[in-house]
Amino acid sequence: EHIANQIAAGEVVERPASVVKELVENAIDAGSTKIDVAVEEGGLQSIRVTDNGNGIDPEDCETAFYRHATSKISQGRDLFQITSLGFRGEALPSIAAVSKVRLVTSNTQDGRGRLIEIEGGNLKANEETAAPQGTDFVVKELFYNTPARLKYMKTIQTELGHISDYMYRLALSRPDIAFTVRHNGNTLLQTLGNGDLLQVIAAVYGTQSAKAMKPIKAENMDYTISGYISRPDWTRANRNAMSFIVNGRYIRNYGLSQSILRGYHTLLPINRFPLTVLKFDMHPSLVDVNVHPSKLEVRFSKEPELFAFAEEEIRKVLMQEVL
């Protein structure tokens, strides 16, 4: 029996990093505090995501792989949380249609769980098994049955780059979750999940970078800014070393980047760039996340105010060091 068709899958599962994203988002939705990601050969050979979340009810395991069987939108999730596919109940069916999936999950602490195996959309196993609470998802041989799609995959390094970029961003936005990322057995990222952003910065950028960071904290009527910026004497960052987290989500915004750089360059040479991880918190009405649901871009409703505030605070915090 075909659980989902491959054509639809092609639209939602673009590459190994999309699988990682969907599985990790599910793990987060399940309340996990620890999420381990292990990939082989850029994720083309194997992707494994193991979490300590709520697990899936044995009764629901199989239906989770049927298209539109589940929809978190009915639970009235915060619209801000909704991602490209996360609200449509399409991720698992789509992934299972184009790979070999093995799911072990338990929603209890009695050691009893459920094993599901699906190959190319065909159910191979649905049986009881021993399992700790949480979910262990293995996706092997992605696109093995869709050679045309497989041909579009780039090198292992490129596919791995997409995965690690996503995981670095996620780790920076969720210091409260312990993440590990491994590739072919080598650890690429390990965070503690103790809420300490500086620890995540050390894990992502290295301890030297973390030591060069200066905390920043400011607020006005509409916005709270917090996080870190490298001290003026830190010369090793390039122009892409700026991360922004808005209301808990990693975003990109050209105008915001420009504001930070303006603040920075009023005091420092234009060939020098800051390493910075900045969190912005604001009322949800001040940010429009629906510009590109699948992408990272957002739009701010009071752009000039936010940009001026950010620029000024960067200038202020650096001024203390430069003078």
Query: Binds 232, which of ligand ADP, Mg ion, none (CB < 5 to 8 A, cut-off by type)?
Result: none
Of residues 1 and 157, the one with the C-beta less far from ligand ADP: 1
Considering the complex, what minimum distance in angstroms separates the CB of residue 248 from ligand ADP?
18
Of residues 18 and 173, the one with the C-beta less far from ligand ADP: 18
Considering the complex, what minimum distance in angstroms separates the CB of residue 98 from ligand ADP?
14
Considering the complex, what minimum distance in angstroms separates the CB of residue 43 from ligand ADP?
17
Query: Binds 64, which of Mg ion, ligand ADP, none (CB < 5 to 8 A, cut-off by type)?
Result: ligand ADP
Of residues 43 and 86, the one with the C-beta less far from Mg ion: 86
* C-beta separation of 54 from 169 below 8 A: no
The footprint of ligand ADP on residues 54-83 (CB under 6 A) is 54-56, 64, 70, 72
Of residues 3 and 237, the one with the C-beta less far from ligand ADP: 3
* C-beta separation of 45 from 141 below 8 A: yes
Considering the complex, what minimum distance in angstroms separates the CB of residue 310 from ligand ADP?
33
Of residues 98 and 237, the one with the C-beta less far from ligand ADP: 98
* C-beta separation of 265 from 320 below 8 A: no
Q: Is 91 among the residues that bind ligand ADP (CB under 6 A)?
A: yes
Query: Binds 202, which of ligand ADP, Mg ion, none (CB < 5 to 8 A, cut-off by type)?
Result: none
DSSP letter for 85, please: S
Query: Binds 135, which of Mg ion, ligand ADP, none (CB < 5 to 8 A, cut-off by type)?
Result: ligand ADP
Interstrand relation of 178-183 and 34-40 (parallel, antiparallel or unpaired): parallel
3-state DSSP helix/strand/coil % of the chain, to nearest 5: 35, 30, 35
DSSP letter for 105, please: E
Of residues 49 and 229, the one with the C-beta less far from Mg ion: 49
- Own/partner long-range contacts of 241-245 (Cβ < 8 Å, ≥24 apart): 241/205, 241/273, 241/274, 241/275, 241/276, 242/273, 242/274, 242/275, 242/276, 242/278, 243/169, 243/172, 243/276, 243/277, 243/278, 244/278, 244/279, 244/280, 245/172, 245/173, 245/277, 245/278, 245/279, 245/280
Q: Is 53 among the residues that bind ligand ADP (CB under 6 A)?
A: yes
Which residues, including other chains, have CB under 8 Å from residue 173's CB and lie 6 or more apart? Answer: 245, 248, 249, 250
* C-beta separation of 90 from 18 below 8 A: no
Considering the complex, what minimum distance in angstroms separates the CB of residue 104 from ligand ADP?
11
Q: Taking CB under 6 A as the rule, which mask of x and - marks residues 2-31 in contact with ligand ADP?
A: --------------------x---xx--x-
Q: Could you list the residues that contact Mg ion (CB under 5 A)?
A: 26, 86, 91
* C-beta separation of 297 from 249 below 8 A: no
Considering the complex, what minimum distance in angstroms separates the CB of residue 18 from ligand ADP?
12
Give the tokens for residue 239: 């122009």
* Residues found near ligand ADP in the complex (CB under 6 A): 22, 26-27, 30, 51, 53-56, 64, 70, 72, 86-92, 135
